[in-house]
Amino acid sequence: MLAGLLACLALVSQTALPPQRVVLDPLDALDAPSITSSPQGRAVLAVEDARAPTAPDISLLIESAASSHSRIQVAAIRALGRLERRDIVTDLLKYLRAPAAATRTEAAFAVAQGMRGERLPLDPSGTQVDGVLQALLSAADVEKSAAPLGEIARSLGRLPYERVEQVLRADAMLCQILSLSNELDVERKAPGSALPALRGAVAGAELLGRLHGKLTTVSEELTILLRRLVTGQTTINSKDRPQPQDALQALIAVRGLDEDTLRLSLASDHESVRRLASTSLGSGSSTITGTDRADHLRRLLNDRAELVRYEALRGYVRTQVRTEGCNPIMEMVADPSLHVALAAIDAMGDACQGDENAVNRATSEARTPPNSGNWQREAHAMVALAKLSKERAAIALHSHSRHTVWQVRMYAARAAGILGDTVTLERLATDDNDNVREA
């Protein structure tokens, strides 16, 4: 199984190509004239842009898919896939075995794209999915290049499965692709040469879990392989290894994020991994709960990465504010990131009802914005204050609703709606700016 890919990668290692020379996108390797240099190529692009509205247009694409001009062939296959018509998929399957790796890669994507279309009238039981699944699995068995194999893996996650058995067959192939890296690493194949295949398999696993999780759960083997990629507990060469955040996203999608992996991810050196882990920690499905979760969230509120702090803030509001109070939220109002600070101001209005300290903080933030420069903090605070204290908001609303910056007046309209201030709303309904009138 997949012996062809191993043999090809062995040949790559003998040429001693430096890692930076490895082509991840096979389209970059096409040694062919520009597609616009021929009338046929220009016709293919025009038909693709028009989405092939007529039968002759489709015939042109099918004919061009068999072209000896590499770029025309790839463009025609891509155009056929973008039509999202299952009746055309049959014309695409043969290109999974085309001589050029770029053609096989595009065909794998186009096949899955085409299967997004409506079921064929003569296929009421959906047996076409079985045939396409088998074609992709067979192509993976004999594939000798990493890029097409990676695209096949992605497509295995995208097919419109209807039966558990179909999902499990795709699952088994994804496991094979993710497992082949161990053998590659031991034999010291060219670093980075397997990356497109492994990256595609991770993407395929994420799609499989996200799109078909209601049909069945993925195998324990696939879950374990993803966990190893997230935590780095794998023999995969570092240059072959997909990004840990991609593996974590896939692990979350297949509902395989266990407590140990979550803890390791929360302490990861990768900002994007900590962000995803923070999102999971603050969700209802978190494997870490109670005071332990609260402690982690408080620590993450001081993370060096603003996106991690943002997700930690959202998680704290969802899971901890009722028991832990609003002080951590009010502290985040002073965050150096405006993105995080605004989220904290908004959270005060939504989650800190009855907290006098929150009312005072929102009052101080809802001062009249300057006529030039940043206005966001004050405008968001105006809306938050309207939710916290009708009396105090009414005072601040007067200057906000007459401000020279239209965005401030737009937020003032939102605050007036919360307060039920029809007089202010009627005046702003005739504002010179259409965004203000709409609000």
Q: Quickly count: other Cβ atoms within 10 Å of residue 36's Cβ.
A: 11
- Least confidently predicted of 9-23, 278-292, 389-403: 9-23
pTM: 0.85
Over residues 8-19, the mean pLDDT reads 36
Confidence of residue 26 (pLDDT cuts 50, 70, 90): very low
- For 177, 324, 327, the CA distances from 298, given in Å and listed in that order, are 39, 10, 11
Burial degree of 31 (CB within 10 A; 0-12, 13-18, 19+): exposed
Pair 278, 312: CB distance under 8 Å: yes
Query: What is the pLDDT confidence band of residue 32, given thresholds at 50, 70 and 90?
Result: low
For Cα atoms 374, 375, 380, give the angle at the middle one, nearest 5 degrees: 130
48-62 burial, b if ≥16 CB within 10 A, otherwise e?
beeebeeeebbebbb
Amino acid making up residue 344: A
Tens digits of residue pLDDT in 245-274: 999 999 999 999 999 999 999 999 999 999
Rounded Cα gap, residues 302 and 377, in angstroms: 20
Q: In the chain, count H helices and then E strands.
A: 25, 0
pLDDT tens per residue across span 375-407: 999 999 999 999 999 999 999 999 999 999 999
Burial class (CB within 10 angstroms; exposed 0-12, middle 13-18, buried 19+) of 427: middle
